[in-house]
A and B are shown apart, each in its own frame.
Chain A
């Protein structure tokens, strides 16, 4: 009865439900970051975001489907009016819960509450080795506030992960940023390539690292992965977008992306929507998700994207597959 080899995280076929749900609770955010693909910001909540009733109905279905792992993101998930109740309900029903936050709302009381709930980890964005590059990217954001949020999490014994979005003006700081994350006691450091969509599209020339910068960036990350082994996981996604999408076409991840209005996307980097949890059940949308990846228009879009990378700017022009 040997344990079979590890299955790829993409093994969605044959599963009764997703293994991982990434739920963008709201598009509202206290920051307005230059690279934000969701174009989140103050006053940017969708007009049709899920009502309290619908949000809890969705969560009850996630629990019922025995989804093991859930991530609340946004926008800023802590800005959602029902954040605490939703988080408590998820964890008390056995779901591993991760939060992706900019850290600015993580005061001591919030962190104590997150610890009491038992969230698995909070991922805080800290792009840069200091306030200058951070402030350029994170409009309305303050380095000191993000740092304070991380320290408050540590004080409350909530596991911290750091997210770093590379740009033309901060990529050279990656070594110091990884070391700082480790000094702060983070358990993980996550990074990859930024996408030319949403706000990033408007500032692409200012933001996009060159391929030479990316090459140096990932070389340093490989070194840092070894250097910090056993203390902090360094996870980076070097693959370009089209390579990633071609891989996903063959082997879709068992991952739902739920938008603030309850619509479910095949993957964040594609415009295709496979269902709506306001009007469809979770199992119905899961079946639509699985069949959605086999649709010719999805493969065609990925092929077109390879020829014309600017098509990525269409990811918010949703295409309903139903």
Chain B
């Protein structure tokens, strides 16, 4: 799992942005969304790794984290921003 070829990620004070540079579409991310994308950019290979890293980083053992990550990654894939 990785960001699509033409997608660039930059962290911002409010969270981050994903810029699909071919279509020049910009997607803003909340701080939580940016945390997920940061893990992907850092090499997390799949949903389980992203979730595990976030649980460790934020000491969050809640089940909702897994659901949120799954939904978010699915949304990124639907938008063509994330590829396997």
Contacts and interface: CB of A to CB of B under 8 A. Distances in A.
Given A1-B71, A68-B19, A11 B36 contact: no
B21 A6 contact: no
B40 to A, nearest CB: 13
Contact of A14 (B14, B21, B29, B68): B14
Contact of B17 (A19, A188, A233): A19
Interface secondary structure of A, over-half rule:
loop
A11 B28 contact: yes
A239 interface: no
Contact-size category for A: 20 to 34
B14 A9 contact: no
B62 interface: no
Contacts of B30: 1, 4
Contact of B24 (A1, A9, A17): A9
Contacts of A6: 25-27
A1 B36 contact: yes
Interface residues of B, number: 29
A254 B24 CA distance: 11
Contact of B6 (A17, A94, A120): A120
A68 B12 contact: no
Given A1-B36, A4-B30, A9 B25 contact: yes
A43 to B, nearest CB: 34
A272 interface: no
A9 B17 CA distance: 11
A199 interface: no
Contacts of A233: 22-23
A66 interface: yes
Interface string B1-21: 000001011101110010101
26 contacts: A1-B33, A3-B27, A3-B33, A3-B76, A4-B27, A4-B29, A4-B33, A6-B26, A6-B27, A7-B26, A7-B28, A9-B25, A11-B26, A14-B13, A16-B10, A16-B12, A66-B10, A68-B10, A68-B19, A69-B8, A96-B6, A96-B21, A98-B21, A120-B22, A188-B22, A233-B23
